[in-house]
Structure 1
Amino acid sequence: MTDPSEELTPYLSVVFGRKPRSVTAIDVRSLTSYTDTLIIVEAGSHRQVTSLAENIVTGLKAKNILSLGTEGIKEGEWALLDYGSPIIHIFETKAKAFYDLEGLWSDAPRLDLSGFETALKSPKDPS
């Protein structure tokens, strides 16, 4: 596991700020040329997929970070937010299991996101 670089901080802080079920970041720079990092976000429902995607786009736009393109936000099963590097995938739980991007990219190293998870939990949050 490696630490996420500072360039991912704006993306990950917005993602973790919306309390997804899970987040995985995969370093794919040595395996593909179209991006350096895949961020895979799990949501519990179609509505949460849409909400997470809309809030991520809005939150990043507020930081002057614009997407190159988006797909699937309104449908709510799988949303793709293309920021060049990273590309953010937001899946409803069943779709995440079906597409299994973590398995597809099993040879790629995972980034250590524990610092983001810890930093964004409130002191009163026992989970």
Structure 2
Amino acid sequence: MTQNAQTKKNEQQFTSISPSKTADADKLVEVITNALLEKKGEEITILDVHELTTLTDKFVVCHATSEVQIKALANSVIQATKEELGESVWKEEGRESRRWVILDYVNVVVHIFKKELRDYYALERMWNDAEVTRVEDN
């Protein structure tokens, strides 16, 4: 990678020059977390994993108390990212079962759990070397 490409990469704040990645992961995370807060997502946590894996740059993890709330959280994220950024989810899993929904935006992956499953799978422990940011509702 040339020095100019490295500088451009740093300025755009993403870890790959892949055109399929969103130019500003931080803006995407902001829209996602606001959508989760709006629908009362619980214990919203951002894991910065860009130095630990090539799968994605960040995980946004939260949980809900019911299957209805899980659906509302997922729908809120999908709607907000589309309306505010023009971003569509690349892949999604679990919206029908509503126990663990994964919304993959390539460089940001959203995990919406039922509380019991979040405790069981413990993504935060699995990725314990990641930089962790907890999102608080102001």
TM-score, normalised to structure 1's length? 0.81
Please, which runs of 5 or more residues in structure 1 have no aligned partner? 119-127
Q: Provide the secondary structure at the position in 1 that maps to 2:71.
A: helix
Aligned to 2:16: none
Aligned to 2:29: 8
How far off is 1:113 after superposition?
A: 2.7
How far off is 1:13 after superposition?
A: 1.5
| Distance in 2, Cα, partners of 1:108 & 1:68 | 23
Aligned to 2:99: 77
How many residues of Structure 1 are paired with residues of Structure 2 in the alignment?
A: 113
1:81-107 per-position Cα deviation (integer Å, ceiling 9, x unaligned): 001121000000011111110110111
Which structure's CA Rg is the greater one? 2
Aligned to 1:123: none
Please, which runs of 5 or more residues in structure 2 have no aligned partner? 1-24
Aligned to 1:90: 112
Aligned pair in 2 of structure 1 residues 10, 71: CA closer, same or farther (>3 Å)? same
Aligned pair in 2 of structure 1 residues 112, 47: CA closer, same or farther (>3 Å)? closer
| Distance in 2, Cα, partners of 1:52 & 1:68 | 17
How far off is 1:7 after superposition?
A: 4.5
Dislocated runs of 4+, deviation >6 Å? none
Taking every aligned residue pair, what percent have the same amino acid on both sides?
Answer: 26
